[in-house]
Amino acid sequence: MEKLKPKLFSVMKSYTKEQFVKDVIAGIIVAIIALPLSIALALASGVTPEKGIYTAITAGFVISFLGGSRVQIAGPTAAFATIVAGIVAKNGMDGLIIATLLAGVILILMGFLRLGNLIKFIPYTITTGFTSGIAVTIFIGQIKDFLGLTIVSEEPLIETMDKLKAVFQFISTTNLQALLVGVISLLILIVWQYLPGFCKKIPPSLIAVLVGSAMVALLNMNVNTIGDLYEISNKLPTISLPSFSLKTVQNVLPDAFTIAILAAIESLLSCVVADSMVNSRHRSNMELIAQGAGNITSALFGGIPATGAIARTAANVKNGGRTPIAGMVHSVTLLLILVVLMPYAALIPMPTIAAILFMVAYNMCDWRKFVGLCRTAPKSDIIVLVTTFVLTVVFDLVVAIEVGILLAAILFMKRMSDVTEVEGWKYLDDEDDADSLSLRAVPHNTMVYEVSGPLFFGAADKILKITLDEKMNCLVLRMRSVSAIDATAMHNLEQLYTDCKKKNIQIILSHVGEQPMHVMEKSGFLDKVGRENVCAHIDDALERAARLG
């Protein structure tokens, strides 16, 4: 069983000065990368810029300290932006803090209940669908600032479709100077990553911020900056408790579950990616506990939801980070930057922030995977993928995940039902099978039916389709391919037994697996049938039927 022990405590046993130097360098570099992203993601989430940095500092430190991964870097991520913005708009900052606290508690419980491995049961089509959907919502949400639009609305625009509608309605208010800053910033973000040598070590987002800020300040351009729209604070994060109310808890509880599930999925995916890069193995349940503790800490210090960030984690690995010390250094570095440089964040133009988020959305959507799934996946998977994507864009992530999981479950059950068969041996038997009934003498008084596939409620009705011939006095049910059976199928077996008893037909079971045997034992079905009528092999079952004839 996986140990509930932070990875930090394990790696410190063989820690060296050389690795400490590498971790410090990697932590500083990742902090520089995280700075503009944390500000941009905070603004996309509808909160003030410093709250993104508060999140990276507090949650980032706690998750690295307690986490189950050697190299995970945590902080605000794009996946939460639309959820957070919706919660803040509907329930205010208190509602967001309560939702994040509840999500943290849920994550800790998931870890202690050792549910880390259950994340694998969420289909890839759902994670791809809502990830692409979130990317589109982020993109649409930033068009306004990229174009410098002046949108007049009586109420704040929360829904993605309302934002898109407003863009078309007010497109005539486009600010060409803002558009110029946005385009140049976007070009820097695109081109910089292809430049050779030393340039690759400098985060393109940092260059875009410096160039965009210089353009607006030196050319005296009429472009909104962060300082024009938000009050900038370089104060250290302090603990603040929200005003709890039962109504607010009820309102944000679905959002809390969404935050918890999304944090679990994204952080564990990031851990898997990191494992492949450093040839390590993370502790999934410990990582969930750390994510929960990190989110609780972030909420108490005025931050927003956090999770493992794949891009920042990869940057940590590429720059030599190999232990959680790097993640802790990243948080401490951001704390120093907050105090010293945060006032200068007021100079960053909003079109530059929009350009950074455009790139985040592009990298996040991974449209090639989306298109590839639409071309190659089975129709049922495509339905789940597209439905989750559309619902994320048109409604919200809560609805998308709920409907996506429900739809995936229904389609999976249909697929399992399609592969479950109950057929008479004359129609199903395979002569190439060493245990084929065609190679055996079936007693004249005996009917033999082969049951193939899991017997669950979606396929349980097939048991009742067995035709009972009153001229026969034995029914052999060959169950060698039945891996599992549920209560509904057990009920139908009981009904079959009752029908057989009325017609004086004895049921004989063959090849009953471990799980079906346990269910039959627990329900008392074995005692009804008679334990002497439960046979290990088809030969034993046919011999028993011959004796009863």
pLDDT in the model for residue 131: 84
CA torsion 96-97-101-106 (nearest 10°) is 0
Q: How confident is the model at residue 156 (pLDDT cuts 50, 70, 90)?
A: low
pLDDT in the model for residue 450: 87
pLDDT tens column, 505-524 = 999 999 999 999 999 999 99
On the question of pLDDT at 433 being above 70, the answer is no
Q: How confident is the model at residue 283 (pLDDT cuts 50, 70, 90)?
A: very high
pLDDT tens column, 228-277 = 988 888 888 899 888 888 899 999 999 999 999 999 988 998 898 889 88
The phi-psi region of residue 56 (left if phi > 0; otherwise alpha if psi is between -120 and 50; otherwise beta) is: alpha
pLDDT in the model for residue 440: 77
State the SS3 of 262-304: HHHHHHHHHHHHHHHHHCCCCCHHHHHHHHHHHHHHHHHCCCC
pLDDT in the model for residue 367: 87
The phi-psi region of residue 506 (left if phi > 0; otherwise alpha if psi is between -120 and 50; otherwise beta) is: beta
Q: Is 531 exposed, middle or buried (0-12, 13-18, 19+ CB in 10 A)?
A: exposed
How large is the average pLDDT for residues 111-137?
Answer: 85
Number of Cβ atoms within 10 Å of the Cβ of 27:
26
Of 479, 491, 418, the C-alpha closest to 450 is 479
User: The tokens of 66 are what?
Assistant: 């307690």
Q: Which range among 61-65, 120-124, 356-360 shows the weakest confidence by mean pLDDT?
A: 120-124
On the question of pLDDT at 30 being above 60, the answer is yes
pLDDT tens column, 392-412 = 899 877 788 788 888 888 887
Contact call for residues 345 and 39 (beta carbons, < 8 A): yes
- Cα distance between the two ends of the chain: 52
Q: How confident is the model at residue 540 (pLDDT cuts 50, 70, 90)?
A: very high
Whether pTM > 0.85 for this model: the answer is no
Of 475, 474, 460, 469, the C-alpha closest to 422 is 460
Number of Cβ atoms within 10 Å of the Cβ of 139:
19
How large is the average pLDDT for residues 60-64?
Answer: 97
Q: How confident is the model at residue 462 (pLDDT cuts 50, 70, 90)?
A: confident
Q: How confident is the model at residue 427 (pLDDT cuts 50, 70, 90)?
A: very low
Q: How many CA atoms lie within 13 A of 466 on its CB side?
A: 28
Mean pLDDT, the chain, rounded, equals 89
On the question of pLDDT at 104 being above 80, the answer is yes
pLDDT in the model for residue 234: 87
Q: Is 423 exposed, middle or buried (0-12, 13-18, 19+ CB in 10 A)?
A: middle
pLDDT in the model for residue 60: 97
On the question of pLDDT at 208 being above 80, the answer is yes
How large is the average pLDDT for residues 541-548?
Answer: 92
Percent of the chain at pLDDT exceeding 70: 96
Helix (H, G, I), strand (E, B) or coil at 84: helix
> Alpha-carbon distance 90 to 84, whole Å?
10
> Alpha-carbon distance 184 to 47, whole Å?
26
Residues with Cβ < 8 Å from 450, sequence gap 6 or more?
Answer: 421, 422, 423, 424, 425, 428, 429, 478, 480, 481
**Paired sense of beta strands 446-452 and 474-481, if any:** parallel
Q: Which range among 389-393, 457-461, 495-499 shows the weakest confidence by mean pLDDT?
A: 457-461
